[in-house]
Amino acid sequence: MKDFNFEVWRLQAESDIKGLVAALQDPNPQKRRAAATALRALGSTTAIPGVQDALMQEGDPELREILVMTLEFLFAQNNGGQTAQTTDNRNIVRLIARLSGNHTEQAVRAAQELGDSREKLTIEALLLTFNNRKLAARVRLAVAEALLKLQSATSEISLLAALRSERWMIRRNAAAVLGQIEADWAVEPLLKALHDPIEAVRRVSRAALERIGTPEALAAINAPALPAEDDSIKAISVMMQPTPSTEKKPKPTASATEVAKPDASAPETPKPEPAVGLLSYLSSDTTKVAILDEPPPSEEDTKPLRPLPDDVS
């Protein structure tokens, strides 16, 4: 009779799943225990999101184990009770439990494995984990990656995918919005963006990291610049500077009013891309900035870009 609670018994008798899920948040641990047991007895799969939520917040080790067993049973019910999937269900539930554990590395690996599992029922737990700002940034980044794999990313998480777009304007805009919302979980991908071949992306990424302001972000952007011999800087410098010609130009034989025709076989020199700072995007709608097309360039935007000695960390 340890788990008996009259109110929970009444809810169970009425098959009130919503009421039992609410009881999982009750301050009384005995009531939470009784509610978890009742939900397992009823076997309603509609309780899966609520049980995941309770598991992510439960601090009592014994109650966590009861919630894990309840969730395992509900997952099995959702899959038709097939014996062949029992082990998979158990593994997935154990991974969910690790997301809210005290071990960062275990939580990161759990998120990675949940993403690889393609199990849609884990989305609720992953979203709860991502929205828990008390967790380590590395855990939230791993969860964001998992949600992308499960094609269930929120608008905020979608910025991570936008930061890897083939279009530099989208990469730049994504970095701007990540800075605007102070996405501390995105520090690592923003640090990678500091090596983007486009200076505008690097500049906005640096500004975003400054705005986020975590120790990791500030340490990276304040680090001494890489030596000039670094291959990445050489490549950027070559891209930004025109290659001087060593050939002697023949004296023109045409009249001053004659216009020389360009050589059709010569490659077209790429035009410098406009630089747009972070501030122009901070007042924009965060759900739209990542997919904006190029705005009309201002006079400042049309100035050719030059590589900055401290632009790559």
* Burial label, 25 (beta-carbon count in 10 A; 0-12, 13-18, 19+): middle
CATH number of 6-153: 1.25.10
Q: What is the mean pLDDT of residues 203-218?
A: 93
Pull the structure tokens for residue 162: 């936008």
Beta carbons within 8 Å of 129's beta carbon, 6+ residues apart: 56, 99, 100, 107, 111, 135, 139, 140, 143
Region(s) of the chain under CATH 1.25.10: 6-153
Look up tokens 């855990």; give the residue.
139
Supply the mean pLDDT for the chain: 76
Own/partner long-range contacts of 270-275 (Cβ < 8 Å, ≥24 apart): 272/240, 272/304, 272/305, 273/168, 273/198, 273/199, 273/200, 273/305, 274/200, 274/301, 274/302, 275/199, 275/200, 275/203, 275/300, 275/301, 275/303, 275/305
Mean per-residue pLDDT, 139-154: 93
- Tell me what the mean pLDDT of segment 24-29 comes to: 94
**Residue 79 contacts residue 105 (beta carbons within 8 Å):** no
pTM > 0.85: no
pLDDT band at residue 75 under the 50/70/90 scheme: confident
The number of CA neighbours under 13 Å toward the Cβ of 171 is 23
Lowest mean pLDDT among 62-76, 203-217, 257-271: 257-271
pLDDT at 284: 41
**Mean pLDDT confidence for 88-94:** 84
Distance CA 157, CA 303 (A): 33
pLDDT at 295: 47
Res 227 pLDDT > 60: no
SS3 category, 23: helix
pLDDT at 9 over 60: yes
